Structure 1
């Protein structure tokens, strides 16, 4: 019937409508699910700037619920400092002048935590002609923190948290420009720790690091908040003091010296004290660049070191001392480069056994090789400067390390020669020498009886008690000692008895004219006789011809050394006999 047919059509239409409604609901639910599951903050905002939609991730990120947010003003997501920009963006979007916008803004969540949000705003026109703004926020807090950390690390020393050399150079340049622009005086302090290497050598690098951190904390504590403290390199620090003249810088330098001496680092039963040499310069200086001013401050610091350390020195424009100091800086750099790039080389000069004309031992001599030309520089050019700028101990340790390593290699090849190694006054007077030698002997498994240490007469008697203790302790390891340059320092035969030495080296000044100088002949003969009486061996240096060699043989000298025997070379003599 007609009614049945109509009823059937209505039923089919209802089913179709329900099905369509169900499909729309499923689509809407799916979109809602997509919005809620998206790992970003999603907000829609109407023309009145009230939030219409707030997704689930937004709840998780902010700590606010949908109920708290939806219907509230969108301004809650933007701090006062950012809202003016956001308000302008929203107005432009609603007017249709722009369709998208990007914004970085801070946001404080419900727990009071500050977050960094990257916002992407889009204009969306709904089917009912209503326009909304879709705002998608990405949490960039961790990324921003990582970026800040990277920037911080690029400008700071990770050990001490002080500014590094890169940041210092940037700020120092600004400081000079400000001083020129505003016509005021600034000051720069360069500070270098004294004998810092002793701490590393006796107690290890952890102790050294701890010392550097203590120094850094002390400098930060006693300087003004306007001062900039930086660590330039290993044990070198710098302080920029704005609007401070030389008098003010001296006041701080005195305080630094006083505070550093009160630092006592106790590490594995060893007590270390800390001191520093300080250079001071006030600027700007006429036509002087940042690097030049830094160089002048370095010069002043080296002067403080040469005057005895643990003191300050102000840069002076005295031309003569300036030229000398500048040369010192040049050579200091050369020495540092040589240590770092292994440009020091060891030469070996043969020493003849007069009893059987055999070469059984060599003196180890250091040279510096130019990295470009290959030219060899003799130690007379750099040893004194190394002593003045505090690098002599590193050179001594370099020679010790490579000499004992060489000796170990020779012994493994069956070579029974002995090596005589020079020790400077700087290393003889330090507590690190004995443990360092012990460590090298153990490390390279070398026979210590093949090692002869040479110290000059002047060094040995400068601190006789300390020298005797040091020699006795090292001889207990099996090594021997030779007293070098005997006769030129104090010319006292009494020191032969006082010091636990095995060999006396007669200085070349008494040997080189031995073939025609009667006074030298009397002195050398007497010295050899006294040495024999005390049970000491003798070595004559500067043997440069056959006549001198024969005179020495007649006098009964034990060993001869000089150009007539053999010049210093990088390799040992192949044959044992002369």
Structure 2
């Protein structure tokens, strides 16, 4: 029999428990999950308006969300406090009520759990519609990356925030042994644990068939998840490997953070067979560390201008004279064993290619000015990523750089690369037209790879088309027929666009291109990249 002091203590505990949330409904559960106290608008929950004291709370939860509540009960003992977690509850109207649940387990022998519920839009990030799997409720890959990026970017300094990637082995085995239905049920249980430990109970996603990721506040959540999944089903032994990284990628744009995370997860999931399962966590951590290291190195290289320019001649097939030199980037030993192409692709993947494009333009324009003053005028071709021209954050800076170079614009040819990244064709068209009006000439790079190239040729008023090198490489194949190459040349001729063939390595290829009507050629036959441009 409890006395007044015990009752006061309980009231104090309830006050402490419920004070952490502006709750509309309060519940206290005993160690068996039964409701021993209710408060607020508790009558909103349950199939009748009668008191729920003595009832199991889980019976009042929508069946689709019960796995999440069971996972919450399991993890609450480890965490002490969890929430908000979105859950749907039964109501007397027969329709589910969407609420967010905050759970607190007070220390002590009785292990009572205190729940505070409040109405809030479900669906992530303040009610924004998000793409989730209808069965598991996990975010789809791209949605997860966008939500994780936004949350990491907005995370106040000093607040802990981590992202864990986890590989789960055994789900496919469950399908083989017990059938698709059993596998889907198992996947729902895995999803329940992911969501319970994630930020807002929602920022968790499935990356591919056996890879998952979630954003969370406590560093130990990764190991807690790994342990819990091993015991999630008595008939299936799941095997997990995970790795956790801190959200220290907050420097840079939201788009750069998104692309860096995407790059890391792509590498993590790319080729599971290349890394033993037991070493997967270490491998993932290495990928994260390496990605962050490379971002820092490339940023430093951009800011210091320590990269070098090499030049490869582009020659007229009718006169054999050098028309211009393409600028090719070269990096010092700090980039390690990575090739120039690897560094550029990495910069594109993680969203810093725009900054590099601007730095390269600045260096190339200064070089043209210098050569002009020395009495050796030359024309340079500079690669510009489609991302840069379609990036609101960097386009203005690029335009300023090019506008400042108007005095040598007629000696600059801008090669548009990575055109697949362009989304706003009309905007980029307007930018290119302005640049042409200022004297710059435009070249469409890697033409003929995919049907989209024709769309860009139609949209942009270009001066040159550089035909993808694969068309020249194919000339060495037995039975080669130049049907597609000839169609490109004829189309460009009809449009008044000059053509450039690349990868030209011998006289046969050069003569063949000339016979087809190609205007210019580039490749080792005419010269390898060199730190001094060829001018004749």
**TM score, norm. by length of structure 2:** 0.50
Higher relative contact order (CA 8 A, sep 6+): 2
TM-score by length of 1: 0.47
